[in-house]
Structure 1
Amino acid sequence: MTIDIDFAFRASARRTLKLEQQAIATLIGKLSDDFDRACRLILACQGRVVVTGMGKSGHIARKIAATLASTGTPAFFVHPGEASHGDLGMITARDVVLALSNSGETQEITALLPLLKRMGTPLISMTGRPASAMACHAEAHLDASVEREACPLDLAPTASTTAALALGDALAVALLEARGFTAEDFALSHPGGTLGRRLLLKVEDLMHSGARLPSVVIGSPLREALLEITHKGLGFTCVVDEKGRLAGVYTDGDLRRTLDQHGDLRALRVDDVMTRGGKRIRADILAAEAVRLMEDNRITALAVVDDDDRPIGAIHMHDLLVSGVV
């Protein structure tokens, strides 16, 4: 084997990508009633979708199983070789099997066909040969055939695995849409991810409450408001009226304006210089909405109020940054 260090690498890459692009494009014309039948079989499934495949098809099958599971279709991968040695017990009549094989004749999978038939477990096949054994024994066959592999030897699974992966994504998305799967549903299966945090965390999960809530009564000397801001460290304090409702807020920004407009601060009351009303948010609102409200108004903190407009907490942009919502 001779290595050519002056090889036209990018030209090779372009050829590969074009071939794989073409392989995916041709799938559109191969979609048939079988695709609809496969979707209906999965939607009617009372168990799990068991995805299986051998070799490179097995790697694609694992990814398809993961995509299905994260988009509302319970699924898991079973190695076909292990299935013949005990793991078949993981499959029940309530399940649906989705089997991948480019040739449609993979021995480890065809060996399972009589057993699946006996169990009454529906089979969906995804192959590159519509006349193969797997295709003929399946209740629904998904045609993932390609004209040729991107490999110049037409041997290494390249375009065929790309086509199978894309067809698996098409299946998962069709099922997702049919189920009415939402971003919130997606977040529930991804609680550790950024999207999960954005969609699951609420203001009440991050707010400062109780003794950590900065608050002074309207009419208080400005000095008390400044001490409250300093002690609580959130850059502002709520100002409440005689009924405990939010009358306004006093912030670090208000302090700068006060210093600019007033020579003597000792005679001032907080309600003389506070921002009346002030931006506020409810505790049960998503934390992501608090980010939007702060960004729109160019502020770094919000008062959190209850149904009677009484402050019950405070949330700062720093809390949102630390939590990963921002």
Structure 2
Amino acid sequence: MTETLLTTARQVILDEAKALEVLCDGLDERFEQAVQMILDATGRVIVSGIGKSGHIGHKIAATLASTGTPAYFVHPAEASHGDLGMLSKGDVVLAISNSGEAPELANLLAFTRRFGIPLIGLSSKPESTLMKEADVHLLIPSLGEACGYGIVPSISTTLTLAMGDALAIALMKYRDFRPENFRDFHPGGKLGARLSKVSDLMHSGEDLPLVPADTNMSDVLLEMSQKGFGVAGVTGSDNALLGIITDGDLRRHMDGLLTRKASDVMTEDPTTISPESLAEEAVAIMDQRTITCLFVVDPERDQTARGLIKIHDCLRVGLG
């Protein structure tokens, strides 16, 4: 029985994979037209669909919104009961229906035609009502469903989802939407942590343990003790970071330590990182060098000390 189940599962995945290849080969200038229509819009992309198409539509709208294309989902049945008021001039509607004949979409389609709102149709039936009304047609190849009976949306929903992803990522690439932009829309969870910048996690301002190069070591020890990081940054007259003093430096200069200046004890040219770097990069550097903290310097301002990031700060948000 196990082998039969695995055979069925593998066949479903193979059928959907083959269908995706057909979808890929069939993309043409209509895809470019749809992307351009969205780029030209001054409003939002309104995604709508019923049933399984609606579920896929929710995901497409969420992907668009999280990658720099303002979008939201409008349920076609709710649209007929007041939610049409969410649509306005400047919007673009992406209507999804495998058959292209979903009656729930009728009022939404009529509204777009009445008020001149651009309409992108996504369907597997080129002669359907949806596709006849649409300004741009995104055609999903009609290849049946993975169940073999044409009754379980599977291949059709996979292709629809892939088309939505293709739209979102094409728009993202065109707009040069970068990981740091993506993080603005994903501040929570593991993804948000991975996209955190050093500046999001670093200690700065009054918390920063900094001493001038000519500071007596007795005062350096006091600064290290008060700030509680086990390290102090040594700065020049222009606040540029010249070196750092760690517990290891203290042990190496124990003989006559209190008679020395910070510049006598410090390790010069320490490893640093930019505040705009991803926190993951800071973790990698600390792991590689077997250290627990990094000073953050501004490379555009003569290596000015801006902050301090500790490995524990990164671990706390789920990195490492």
Q: Return closer, same or farther for 1:301/1:145 CA change in 2, 3 Å cut-off.
A: same
Partner of 1:176: 172
Instruction: Pick one of 207, 211, 214 that aligns with 1:215.
Output: 211
Instruction: Pick one of 224, 248, 255 that aligns with 1:229.
Output: 224
Q: Return closer, same or farther for 1:56/1:282 CA change in 2, 3 Å cut-off.
A: closer
State the identity %. 44
Q: For 1:26 and 1:202, how far apart are their aligned partners in 2?
A: 44
Aligned residue identity for 1:251: T
Partner of 2:313: 319
Asked if 1:187 corresponds to 2:179, the answer is no
Partner of 2:249: 254
Partner of 1:67: 63
> How far 1:136 sits from its partner (Å)?
1.3
5+ long unaligned stretches in structure 1: none
Q: Higher mean Cα deviation, 138-147 or 12-21?
A: 138-147
Q: Return closer, same or farther for 1:274/1:80 CA change in 2, 3 Å cut-off.
A: same
SS in 2 for 1:8: helix
SS in 2 for 1:97: strand
1:80-137 CA-to-partner distances (Å, cap 9, x unmatched) read 1111121111112321111111111111113433332111112111111111111111
Contact 2:197/2:276, CA 8 A, preserved across alignment:
no
Asked if 1:161 corresponds to 2:157, the answer is yes
Q: Return closer, same or farther for 1:279/1:138 CA change in 2, 3 Å cut-off.
A: same
CA RMSD in angstroms, aligned pairs only:
3.0
Contact 2:283/2:311, CA 8 A, preserved across alignment:
yes
Q: For 1:320 and 1:26, how far apart are their aligned partners in 2?
A: 44
Structure number with larger C-alpha Rg: 1
Q: Return closer, same or farther for 1:283/1:129 CA change in 2, 3 Å cut-off.
A: closer
Partner of 2:267: 275
> How far 1:238 sits from its partner (Å)?
2.6
Aligned residue identity for 1:190: H
TM-score (norm 2): 0.85
TM-score (norm 1): 0.83
Instruction: Pick one of 111, 118, 130 that aligns with 1:115.
Output: 111
> How far 1:171 sits from its partner (Å)?
1.4
5+ long unaligned stretches in structure 2: none
Contact 1:214/1:232, CA 8 A, preserved across alignment:
no
Instruction: Pick one of 294, 304, 308 that aligns with 1:302.
Output: 294
Count of aligned pairs between the two proteins:
317
